[in-house]
Amino acid sequence: MNAYTLAKTNNTKSLTELFKGLEGYDDDEQRKNVIEMNRMIEEMVRIELYYAFTIEQFDKISEMIDERKDSISYALFTLKCIGYFKELENTWDQSFDGHSLEEKYEKMIIGENLKKKWKNENLLISLCECYIVLTGGFNSDILLICVPCLLKVALRKEEDEETQKEVEMALLALSNIGTHYPIDQELYLNELKEIIKHHQEHHNLTRFAYQSAWKFLMYRLDNGRSLEDMITKELHFTREETKELEELLQW
């Protein structure tokens, strides 16, 4: 059995068993399965991540969301971990693309955003992160909701570990919005400049988060102009900041 087949067989089997544990009605049992599942995801290498998740497993998550509203937080946490580590390893497969979860996320994002009195900000943030990190193509109307929502998270300046992880995930999600999805500068430019400036003064972001912030920003700028010209004239950053970005892009 070659390495590809072994990775596909072992990890799919192990994760399938953990997914079954999410069906239970015992909250502690669900929590333990989610923790173990995410530990496995974190320890996987690129080839394992490529094969580990199947359409059937995404079907199970979709069923959890439909049948048990109290399971949504577990489902979203697991999906964020999948997206995070697949992005970190720069790998993806086609299991999620076109899955019914995409449309379900869009409806949930719109529904949660329309709420006034009982809006759940944390749920909306998680939905936006999962949608952008895992989805191959984006609905432009959904991005108009998600971008301001995630920038609000990314602007958090507390330096505790939990906040840093939240900021990193929000910026990672934003960095997945490619150049072919136009976004009005009024929705992001001042916020991104503030995030980058604050980091340069206080070093509050992880390197991955900082790189993600620049990646999102550079996707939005005119590709026909030189990097230095864009940074100095459009963003009003200094030559020192230009040099820092060039070094970051080489990392």
Q: Are 143 and 127 in contact (CB under 8 A)?
A: no
- On whether residue 195 sits in a domain, the answer given is no
Q: Are 126 and 73 in contact (CB under 8 A)?
A: yes
- Answer with the residue of higher pLDDT: 50 or 119: 119
86 CB burial (10 A radius; 0-12, 13-18, 19+) = buried
Rounded to the nearest integer, the mean pLDDT of the chain is 76
- Whether 113 has a pLDDT exceeding 90, the answer reads yes
Q: How confident is the model at residue 241 (pLDDT cuts 50, 70, 90)?
A: low
- Whether 74 has a pLDDT exceeding 60, the answer reads yes
Q: From CA 115, how far away is CA 59, in angstroms rounded?
A: 27
Q: Are 168 and 174 in contact (CB under 8 A)?
A: no
Q: How many domains does the chain have?
A: 1
- On whether residue 245 sits in a domain, the answer given is no
- Whether 88 has a pLDDT exceeding 80, the answer reads no
- Over residues 223-237, the pLDDT tens digits come to 555 555 656 655 656
- Whether 12 has a pLDDT exceeding 80, the answer reads no
- Over residues 123-154, the pLDDT tens digits come to 999 999 988 888 767 888 999 999 999 999 99
Of the candidates 218, 223, 226, 212, the one whose C-alpha atom is nearest the C-alpha of residue 176 is 212
Range of the domain at 164: 3-179
Residue 40: count of CB within 10 angstroms of its CB: 16
Q: Reduced to 3 states, what is the DSSP secondary structure of residue 1?
A: coil
Q: How confident is the model at residue 94 (pLDDT cuts 50, 70, 90)?
A: low
- Whether 42 has a pLDDT exceeding 90, the answer reads no
- Whether 11 has a pLDDT exceeding 70, the answer reads no
Share of the chain above pLDDT 70, in %: 62
- Whether 197 has a pLDDT exceeding 50, the answer reads yes
| DSSP designation for 74 | H
Q: Say what the pLDDT of residue 56 is.
A: 75
- On whether residue 36 sits in a domain, the answer given is yes
Q: From CA 21, how far away is CA 30, in angstroms rounded?
A: 6
Domain with residue 21: its CATH number is 1.25.10
- Answer with the residue of higher pLDDT: 80 or 144: 144
Q: How confident is the model at residue 22 (pLDDT cuts 50, 70, 90)?
A: low
What pTM value is reported for the model? Answer: 0.77
Q: Are 171 and 213 in contact (CB under 8 A)?
A: yes
- On whether residue 242 sits in a domain, the answer given is no
Q: From CA 141, how far away is CA 143, in angstroms rounded?
A: 5
Q: Say what the pLDDT of residue 114 is.
A: 92
Q: Say what the pLDDT of residue 173 is.
A: 92
- On whether residue 174 sits in a domain, the answer given is yes
- On whether residue 188 sits in a domain, the answer given is no
- On whether residue 12 sits in a domain, the answer given is yes
- Over residues 147-184, the pLDDT tens digits come to 999 999 999 998 888 899 899 999 999 998 988 888 88
- What residue spans of the chain are helical by DSSP H? 3-21, 27-43, 46-52, 55-67, 72-88, 100-114, 121-134, 140-154, 161-175, 189-202, 207-220, 227-229, 239-249
- On whether residue 61 sits in a domain, the answer given is yes
Of the candidates 108, 58, 120, the one whose C-alpha atom is nearest the C-alpha of residue 83 is 58
Q: Say what the pLDDT of residue 3 is.
A: 47
